[in-house]
Amino acid sequence: MANQTTATHGVMEGGGSYNLHARIPAGGGNLALPLLEEAVRNIPLERGDQPVVIADYGSSQGKNSLSPMRTAIKALRLRIGPDRPIFVVHIDQAANDFNTLFDVLRSDPERYSVDDPNIFSSAIGRSFYEGVFPREHVHLGWSSYAAVWLSRIPMLIPGHFVVLASTGHVREAFARQAADDWRFFLSLRASELRLGGRLVVVLPGLNDEGVTGFEPLFSEANEALAEMVTEGAISAEERAGMVLGAYPRRRNELLAPFSTDGQFCSLICRGDTSLFCQAFSTVA
C-alpha cells in the first residue's frame, strides 16, 4: 500500500462549505481582476449577435466566481452593448457541489446576472484535464486556484501529506506530474480558445525562496494527524494514505512551457510577471 497511487483527488467539502471558507482564494483572485479587464478589452469580437463565451475552469461552488465574472461581463458590455448574449460556463469535477453553485447563481445578491437578462449560465461536470469545449469555442477563460490540483497523485508522501514537506524522489515525482499537467492544461485551453481569445490563470505558488507561507499550518495539521493515530481515531494505514493532491509551482515552473520562444501551443504568455497571476492569449 505504501506506494499505491490514486487516480484522482476529492472535491471541496460540499453543502456550501467551500463558499463559506474560501476568503483566501477570493482575495487572490481579486488581485487578477485588472488582468481580466485588460483581457476583455483585447479579445477580438466578431460583429453580429453571436453569444460571447466565458469559461470558468474550476469554479467549485461559485461564490468566488461572482466577482471575476461580474468584472468580465461589465467590461464586455462596454464593448458589445446590453443585448448580445453572454454564455458563462462553470466547469468543475463531476462530484463538485453543483447544487450550491446553481443556488448561488440564482439567488446570491451579488450574482452576475442581476439586471442582465442576456446572461446565460451553465455548468459542466468534467475534469479540466480533458477537453471541455469544442475547438475555438471560448472567447475568455478564467481559472482561479484550481490548476494547482494535479490530475493524479504520483505517490504517497512518507511522514507527511503535503508535497512541500517532501524531498528527493518524492518531490521529483510531484514536480514531474505538475509539469506534465500544466502543459496539458494549457494545451487543452489553447485548443478551446478562439483565435485571439484570452485565458487568465490565478494560482497559489511558491515565492523565489520556495516558501508558500502555509508551512507552519501544514506542520501543525500533520502533528494533529499523528496524534489522531496515537489516539486510535484513525489507523496508521489511513493516515499513510492521506495526500493533498496540490502542487504550488514556482514562477519558473509556470513559465517553463514558454521558455523556448515565448509561445506554447499557440498561446502567448502575456504575463504580468507577478507570481500569482498569468494571462495568456492565442496568437491573433
Ligand X SMILES: C[S@@+](CC[C@H](N)C(=O)[O-])C[C@H]1O[C@@H](n2cnc3c(N)ncnc32)[C@H](O)[C@@H]1O
Instruction: For ligand X, give the closer residue by CB, 64 or 177.
Output: 64
Check if the beta carbon of residue 92 is closer than 8 Å to that of residue 77: no
Q: Restricting to residues 37-66, which ones interact with ligand X according to CB under 6 A?
A: 58-60, 64
Say which amino acid occupies 93. Q
88 contributes a contact to ligand X by CB under 6 A: no
* Separation between Cα atoms, residue 175 and residue 8, nearest integer Å: 17
Exactly one of 112, 128, 133, 276 binds ligand X (CB under 6 A); that residue is: 128
Instruction: For ligand X, give the closer residue by CB, 30 or 263.
Output: 30
CB of 59 to ligand X, least distance (A): 6
| Alpha carbon 173 to chain centroid, angstroms | 21
Pairing of strands 86-92, 52-57: parallel
154 contributes a contact to ligand X by CB under 6 A: no
Q: Which part of the chain contacts ligand X (CB under 6 A), choosing from 80-88, 115-123, 139-147, 161-169? A: 139-147
Contacts of 40 (CB under 8 A, 6+ apart): 72, 75, 76, 79, 140, 198
Exactly one of 11, 175, 242, 268 binds ligand X (CB under 6 A); that residue is: 11
CB of 229 to ligand X, least distance (A): 27
Contacts of 220 (CB under 8 A, 6+ apart): none
The residue among 126, 181, 120 whose CA lies nearest residue 152 is: 181
149 contributes a contact to ligand X by CB under 6 A: yes
Residue with cell 501529506: 161
Task: Quote the strand ranges of the chain, DSSP E.
Answer: 52-57, 86-92, 119-125, 138-144, 193-202, 263-264, 267-269, 277-282
Q: Which part of the chain contacts ligand X (CB under 6 A), choosing from 38-46, 81-89, 123-131, 249-257? A: 123-131
Pairing of strands 119-125, 263-264: unpaired
71 contributes a contact to ligand X by CB under 6 A: no
Contacts of 175 (CB under 8 A, 6+ apart): 247, 253
25 contributes a contact to ligand X by CB under 6 A: yes
Q: Which part of the chain contacts ligand X (CB under 6 A), choosing from 41-49, 79-87, 138-146, 159-167? A: 138-146
192 contributes a contact to ligand X by CB under 6 A: no
Check if the beta carbon of residue 161 is closer than 8 Å to that of residue 235: no
92 contributes a contact to ligand X by CB under 6 A: yes
Instruction: For ligand X, give the closer residue by CB, 204 or 227.
Output: 204
Give contact residues for ligand X (rule: CB under 6 A): 11-12, 22, 25, 29, 58-60, 64, 91-93, 96, 127-129, 144-146, 149, 151
